[in-house]
Amino acid sequence: MARTTFSDSTKDQKRAEIILAARKLFKRFGVKKTTMRDIASEAGLAVGTLYLYFKSRDEVVLACAEAFEQVHLEAAKLALESSGSPAERLKMYILGRFRASAETRTSDSHVAEIARAVIRVRPTRLEDESKIMQHTILELFAQGSKDGSFRIADPNRDMMIFLYSIAWFFPIEKSEFLPEPEESVLAKLIDWFIEKWSAA
């Protein structure tokens, strides 16, 4: 039993190392110019060994997307279960997502290509991310309503208005025509909504 567990753990670790290596190469060279041989070399593997984990580059791209989504799920869980008021945790969650988005967008010159590759192999990617965010916000609304800190007549309506209002702060890629969104401005916008929900 212990031997099997160790083997599974080793496989999971190696898979994580491959994903990390692939993300590094995708950021540096883009998806199209990164080959399975490149990924294997970066991960310190023989190409044949890499194919035991992933059958194609598309599978690697999909795994990278799933790893990013897992980070989002963990952030959502933290927002729902950590200490602090629902308002504080809502702000923490949204600003955390902003930082994750900004880090990817500003540190990666191939971010648009990577985003297109992810959507090609998983068309529901953006919708899935949106559902996680919607669910988390509604749960925080419910917690705030329960403890009396939020008074929201129509949570679904307010959740959608809130998401549309902050959407500008989450562009897929940098733009030479628009200024980079500022965290301090987003924080003020979140505070404005929280004040309205608290005083409703």
Can you tell me the distance from the alpha carbon of 150 to that of 174, in angstroms, rounded to the nearest whole number? 35
**Which pLDDT band holds residue 174 (cuts at 50, 70, 90)?**
low
| 159 pLDDT higher than 50 | yes
| pLDDT higher than 90, residue 2 | no
Q: How confident is the model at residue 200 (pLDDT cuts 50, 70, 90)?
A: low
Q: Which amino acid is at 110?
A: H
pLDDT in tens, 118-141: 889 999 988 999 999 999 999 999
Instruction: Find, among 132, 133, 136, the residue nearest to 80 by Cα.
Output: 136
Tokens of 101: 């988005």
- As a whole number, mean pLDDT of residues 105-111 equals 69
Question: Is 78's pLDDT higher than 90?
Answer: yes
In Å, what is the CA distance from 125 to each residue of 1, 9, 33, 120, 129? 37, 27, 23, 9, 6
| Domains present along the chain, CATH in parentheses | 1-55 (1.10.10.60), 63-199 (1.10.357)
pTM of the model: 0.84
What's the mean pLDDT when you consider all of the chain? 90
